Amino acid sequence: MVFPAKKPATYQDVIDAPPNMVAEILDGDLNLSPRPASGHVFVSSGVGGDLSNPFQRGRGGPGGWWILDEPEIHLGPDVLVPDLAGWRKERMPEFPDVAWFDLRPDWVCEVLSPSTRRIDLVKKARIYARAGVPWLWFADPVARVVEVRELRDGQWLIQQTADGTEPVRLPPFDAIELNPADWFPPEQGSTPG
């Protein structure tokens, strides 16, 4: 029996998605994810907060980046909404007034959640590699680690894994020390520092 080819998702599918869902097109398929839970948002906010002043504003660091929370990025037919993304200002000198970005980012950070873990680690990582995104971080709130991957010859290579036991320099933001322990929510029964 021959089945008709499945129709690829379109941007209209993204527009028509329920407002409480994050809609993405990954390899032609519409992917709907629930809005992130509080622990996920805590991690994303921590990473973005630590990078914004030194890298976007140049306060206590070299500047030279645009760092954004949940930007919509169009990479060919794929529509992705990473937790964080960054563009070097030398590649995007002016910050555009747009609904989405067509220029591939220079760095992406995905916070791993039970509902999106497999998609982030497999599908989205493959799409980022295909688009030539040079750096990809995975922040894992459960394991309380950050994994830094660099794209080389179309393959992701793990360059560093940090567990927050000490300040570290994480590429491509290795101009300053960062403390990943600050990015993760307090463990149950403890209070934030």
Query: Which fold is adopted by the domain 36-183?
Result: tt1808, chain A (3.90.1570)
pLDDT value at position 5? 61
Residue 193, pLDDT > 50, answer no
Instruction: Tell me the C-alpha to C-alpha distance, in Å, between residue 76 and each of 46, 49, 70, 92, 170.
Output: 30, 29, 18, 18, 29
Strand partners of residue 79: 25, 74
DSSP 66-77: EEEES--EEETT
Kindly report whether the global pTM for this prediction surpasses the value 0.85.
yes
Could you state, in order of their start, the residue ranges of all structural domains in the chain?
Answer: 36-183
**pLDDT tens-digit profile of 37-61?**
999 999 999 999 999 999 999 999 9
Q: Which of 101, 103, 157, 102 is nearest to 129 (CA)?
A: 157
